[in-house]
Structure 1
Amino acid sequence: MKILLLITGLGLGGAEKVVISLADQLFVAGHQVKIAYLRGEIEVRPQPAEIELIPLGLNSLANFSHSAQRFAQIMQQFQPDVVHAHMFHAILFARLLRRSAQIPYLICTAHSKAIGGKARQWLYRLTDRYSDVNTNVSQEATDFFIAQKAFSAAKSTTVSNGIDTQKFQFSALARQQLRQQLGYSAETPVLMAVGRLMQAKDYPNLIQAFRLLQQTQPKAQLLIVGDGVQRAELEQQVQQLNLADQIRFLGVRHDVAELLSVTDVFVLSSAWEGFGLVVAEAMSCERVVVATDCGGVKEVLGEPEWLVPPQNAEMLSKKLVQALQLSTEQKAQLGQQHRQRIQQHYSMQSMLQQWLALYHLSTERTAS
């Protein structure tokens, strides 16, 4: 089967990682895959060099005609069975070109509950007729899109993200080596957060929660992995709270799977989320997870004990203290339960099979 994945950009976000992983898995399964992206630089790449990455150059509306012509050429040359568009701009682009570019079957995937305002809601609704299937990454997000009439119920479903459970697994060796590199002893309580330094992730809330936590856990350390527009602001907040010796910004890292083994508790402090991919990755690494109740995080965790309301530093702090106070045996038991849940419900193989089932609807329709 020939599949063209279309995405807004190939930056370092969760949606981009999911699309790259999907491309990898489709290629390994014997399908022909290409990825077209609207704009920006390439920051994530598929593993097989055979998967072509095609820039469409849509850096502004002035380039729309050129980008549309380029996309039509790709369609004519590659002749995919399915075009699978991810995120708002790519979805809108594909829907607008559905007829002129002769897209045979179009799947449109949003990656969060955030529609993006009234204008986007109206555009989703106006162009809905041009997609064959709409999906989102959590049931809550799918239901919300349907309730807001951004997606039509008749052709909408949920396909949860999947992660590579072989890559994301606990390593005692990585824990020991990286703790030594970071200057932590085996007994140092370490918390970690991963994600772009942007408003949605609400790192100011996490930093305030960590400040409160220091009153009872003065030896605790916090690692923040990622970069973004708020970095300088967050570093200033840490300095003002005299926490520079306890909070470390690691920037962009490509060894997140190994770093997760370093931590005792993984924390997600987001004000809003889509699926919460990093939560699943931490669970796959058998980590205790404390998270804000946003997006699809509740569905991934499966139970509410370790959830707190968004934008509530005091409750987040209390839950983090509770997690750190678990015995070694309790942490290990909870971690094992987490990994089993991810293997059963959120593995890459599970995600792949769900997508292939939707892709094969295109061939069934052609045959009929």
Structure 2
Amino acid sequence: MKILYIITGLAQGGAERVVCDLADTMFKRGHKVKIAYLTGEVVTRPANEEIELLSIGLTSSVTLPKAYFTLSKIIRNFKPDVVHTHMVHANILTRLVRMVTPIQKLICTAHNSNEGGTLRMLSYRVTDSLADLTTNVSNTAVAAFEAKHAVPRNSMLTVYNGVNFDNFAYKPEAKATIVKELNLSVDTQIILAVGRFNVQKNYPNLLNAIHTLKEQLSTPFVLLIAGDGELRGEIEQLIEALNLSDNVILLGRRQDVPTLMSACDVVVLPSDYEGLPTVLIEALACQAQVVSTEVSGVHEIVGKYGKIVPTKDPMALANAIKDSLQNNDRNILGCLHVKSKFDLDLISDKWLKIYNEV
């Protein structure tokens, strides 16, 4: 089978990693796979170098017509059996390309409960018939799309993100490694957040919680944030304003996230909205305690194996982190839970069944 994955970009993010891991798995199973991306630099890539990455070259609205014909040409030349698109811009653009370019099977996957405002939701609804199937990554994200009338009721399918648990597993030596690298005292408790510096992730919510936590705890702790993005400057200013320079370390983009997750005492997700926050799956796979705001998909991931608090509530977030820090045990049951539900091979089997049956 020839499979073309199309994604908005290949920056550092959960959806990007999910697509690359899925492409790797399909390639290993003997399928011919390519990934086309609309815009940006390649930060996340598949492990197998034989999987070709194709730039569509969308940089602004001015380049949209050229990007449209570039994508059309890629599809006509490759002649895929299945085109599987991911994220809103790739989903909508490929649907429109299908109006003039034959596509045998087109599956569109949204990766969030909130993929934009009214115009984007209308775009989904108006172009719905151009896709053979539209999916989302959690039941709550599907419900959100239905509530916004982006898809006809009962037409959108939930397919969870698959995680390669060969990459995410607990490393006993990790704490010593990170403590040494960052010159921390051995009794320092480590809180970790992973994700881009954008509005969705709401890092001010987390920093205000850390400010409260600093007043409550007498034991040493540090917040590590792995990621980067357009709001970095604002986050740095808020760290200074809250007098948290000694308690927060911005790590930038990291390639050793499993090590960080194994080293930490708790992983925190402070977001305002998500689709299926894969970072929590990865954290649980590394046996970390987790605290998350109540965003789409979090109950489906965490269950009873972590703490969930309301969004935009720094005090509740601080209290949940404090409670989690008092539990020094590795989250072994949480690890077993996510491995039984989100294993990449299990999810890949489901995708292959969909590819064959649509």
- TM-score with structure 1 setting the length: 0.94
Aligned-pair Cα RMSD in Å: 1.4
Q: Counterpart of 2:215 in 1: which secondary structure?
A: coil
1:29 alignment partner AA: R
Partner of 2:347: 351
1:70 paired to 2:70: yes
Give the superposition deviation at 1:234: 1.1
User: Which whole-Å CA distance do the structure 1 matches of 2:347 and 2:209 have between them?
Assistant: 34
Equivalent residues in 2 for 1:250-329 (5 A)? 250-303=251-304, 306-326=307-327, 328=328
Partner of 1:213: 213
User: Which whole-Å CA distance do the structure 1 matches of 2:12 and 2:345 have between them?
Assistant: 22
Partner of 1:366: none
Q: Counterpart of 1:113 in 2: which secondary structure?
A: coil
Cα–Cα, structure 1 residues 304 and 338, in superposed 2: closer, same or farther, change >3 Å? closer
Cα–Cα, structure 1 residues 183 and 109, in superposed 2: closer, same or farther, change >3 Å? same
Give the superposition deviation at 1:126: 0.5
User: Which whole-Å CA distance do the structure 1 matches of 2:252 and 2:245 have between them?
Assistant: 15
Q: Which runs of 5+ in 1 are unaligned?
A: 363-368
Q: Counterpart of 2:11 in 1: which secondary structure?
A: coil
1:222 alignment partner AA: L
Give the superposition deviation at 1:45: 1.2
Partner of 1:237: 238
Give the superposition deviation at 1:304: 8.1
Q: Counterpart of 1:244 in 2: which secondary structure?
A: coil
2:177 alignment partner AA: Q
Runs of 4+ in 1 over 3 A off after TM superposition: none
Q: Which runs of 5+ in 2 are unaligned?
A: none
Partner of 2:337: 341
User: Which whole-Å CA distance do the structure 2 matches of 1:249 and 1:80 have between them?
Assistant: 42
Partner of 1:365: none
1:83 paired to 2:54: no
Cα–Cα, structure 1 residues 267 and 94, in superposed 2: closer, same or farther, change >3 Å? same
Q: Counterpart of 2:134 in 1: which secondary structure?
A: strand
Q: Is the CA contact (8 Å cut-off) linking 1:266 and 1:282 kept in structure 2? A: yes
Cα–Cα, structure 1 residues 216 and 60, in superposed 2: closer, same or farther, change >3 Å? closer
User: Which whole-Å CA distance do the structure 2 matches of 1:36 and 1:183 have between them?
Assistant: 42
Give the superposition deviation at 1:348: 1.1
User: Which whole-Å CA distance do the structure 1 matches of 2:121 and 2:47 have between them?
Assistant: 35
Partner of 2:32: 32
1:358 alignment partner AA: I
User: Which whole-Å CA distance do the structure 1 matches of 2:169 and 2:194 have between them?
Assistant: 16
1:288 alignment partner AA: Q
Question: Identity of paired residues, percent?
Answer: 39
Give the superposition deviation at 1:257: 0.8
Q: Is the CA contact (8 Å cut-off) linking 2:268 and 2:290 kept in structure 1? A: yes
Give the superposition deviation at 1:120: 0.9
Q: Is the CA contact (8 Å cut-off) linking 1:71 and 1:101 kept in structure 2? A: no
2:35 alignment partner AA: I
User: Which whole-Å CA distance do the structure 1 matches of 2:241 and 2:62 have between them?
Assistant: 44
Equivalent residues in 2 for 1:123-134 (5 A)? 123-134=123-134
2:319 alignment partner AA: K
Residues paired across the two proteins, number: 357
Q: Is the CA contact (8 Å cut-off) linking 2:197 and 2:232 kept in structure 1? A: yes
1:172 paired to 2:167: no
Partner of 1:94: 94
Give the superposition deviation at 1:260: 0.9
Give the superposition deviation at 1:115: 3.5
> Quick check: 211-220 or 281-290, which moved more?
211-220
User: Which whole-Å CA distance do the structure 2 matches of 1:154 and 1:271 have between them?
Assistant: 26
User: Which whole-Å CA distance do the structure 1 matches of 2:14 and 2:122 have between them?
Assistant: 25
Partner of 1:156: 156
User: Which whole-Å CA distance do the structure 1 matches of 2:199 and 2:325 have between them?
Assistant: 26
Partner of 1:115: 115
Partner of 2:15: 15
> Quick check: 71-80 or 6-15, which moved more?
71-80
Give the superposition deviation at 1:64: 3.1
User: Which whole-Å CA distance do the structure 2 matches of 1:115 and 1:222 have between them?
Assistant: 29
CA deviation digits over 1:269-301, x for unaligned, max 9? 111112111111100000000110111111110
Give the superposition deviation at 1:35: 0.6
Give the superposition deviation at 1:136: 0.3
Q: Is the CA contact (8 Å cut-off) linking 2:305 and 2:333 kept in structure 1? A: no
1:337 alignment partner AA: L
User: Which whole-Å CA distance do the structure 1 matches of 2:244 and 2:260 have between them?
Assistant: 21
Q: Counterpart of 2:225 in 1: which secondary structure?
A: strand
2:57 alignment partner AA: G
Q: Is the CA contact (8 Å cut-off) linking 2:107 and 2:131 kept in structure 1? A: yes
CA deviation digits over 1:324-349, x for unaligned, max 9? 112x3xx23xx101110111001111
Q: Counterpart of 2:127 in 1: which secondary structure?
A: helix
